[in-house]
């Protein structure tokens, strides 16, 4: 499972989650599970434009239903519950880890912004962390805190993307603790841009995301 994480809201985490999921499908023709981890601002399904038959509530996931929904290529979304306590969040993501970890589909989690407990829970269950930041210094500093939290939780950072950028900002490797940083071109509608699509396909290949369990 890959957690898509970053320090600031609006840096492109959800867009990156959708783009990475689509790139995995395009490269391997296999199913992908997208997990809505930002329960305060859930917009993964709407951005992914997933059909109703390819989405189900994360709270009530069952192995059989998950298998049926992910029977073929495409992206299936596990939607946020209407309400959840911090303890409930932990339990739900433990179930996500149990069910999705044993499923042949690749799983990507759209994490909440920041380095708080809400973000820590999905990061802790993930096999690898893809950091997302803009090129703005404040965004990079906040994402560095997310990277530090991932390290404390024992979840490896596999790389980072810098959204809306042509180059990697100076000092980003030091701040984020990784040399595997890929800039994502700036465009008003990134999920409709062929250039952005190709770049995210490069991200999946370069970071070997499809091979991470």
Cα 163 to chain centroid, rounded: 14
**Residues in the chain, how many?**
213
Q: Which range (61-65, 188-192, 200-204) has the least confidence? A: 61-65
Contact 158/209 with Cβ under 8 angstroms? yes
Residue 6's nearest CA partner among 151, 130, 177, 158 is 130
> Quick one: fold of 2-211?
Rossmann fold (3.40.50)
Overall average pLDDT of the 19-39 stretch: 89
Look over the chain and give the mean of its residue pLDDT values, rounded to a whole number: 87
Which pLDDT belongs to residue 29?
76
The DSSP code sequence of 47-115 is: HHT--GGGEEEGGG--HHHHHHHTSSSEEEEEEPPS---HHHHHHHHHHHHHHHHTSSSEEEEEPPSSS
Write out pLDDT tens, residues 133-180.
Answer: 999 999 999 999 999 999 999 999 999 999 999 999 999 999 999 999
Which pLDDT belongs to residue 127?
92
What is the model's pTM?
Answer: 0.91
Contact 48/32 with Cβ under 8 angstroms? no
Q: Please, which pLDDT band fits residue 58 given cuts at 50, 70 and 90?
A: low
Separation of alpha carbons 14 and 152, rounded Å: 24
Pairwise pLDDT comparison (49 vs 112), residue with the higher score: 112
3-state secondary structure of 124: helix
């Amino acid at each position: 499972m890959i957690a898509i994480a970053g320090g600031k809201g609006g840096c492109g985490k959800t867009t990156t989650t959708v783009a990475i999921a689509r790139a995995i499908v395009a490269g391997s023709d296999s199913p992908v599970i997208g997990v809505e981890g930002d329960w305060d601002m859930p917009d993964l399904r709407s951005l992914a434009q997933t059909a109703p038959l390819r989405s189900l509530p994360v709270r009530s996931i069952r192995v059989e239903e998950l298998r049926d929904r992910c029977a073929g290529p495409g992206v299936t979304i596990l939607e946020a519950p209407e309400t959840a306590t911090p303890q409930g969040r932990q339990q739900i993501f433990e179930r996500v880890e149990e069910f999705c970890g044993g499923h042949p589909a690749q799983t990507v989690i759209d994490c909440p912004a920041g380095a708080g407990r809400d973000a820590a829970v999905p990061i802790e269950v993930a096999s690898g962390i893809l950091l997302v930041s803009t090129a703005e210094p404040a965004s990079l500093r906040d994402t560095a805190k997310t990277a530090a939290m991932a390290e404390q939780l024992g979840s490896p950072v596999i790389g980072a993307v810098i959204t809306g950028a042509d180059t990697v900002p100076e000092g980003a490797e030091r701040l984020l603790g990784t040399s595997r940083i890929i800039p994502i071109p700036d465009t008003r509608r990134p999920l409709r841009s062929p250039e952005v699509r190709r770049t995210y396909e490069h991200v999946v290949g370069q970071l070997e995301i499809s091979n991470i369990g």
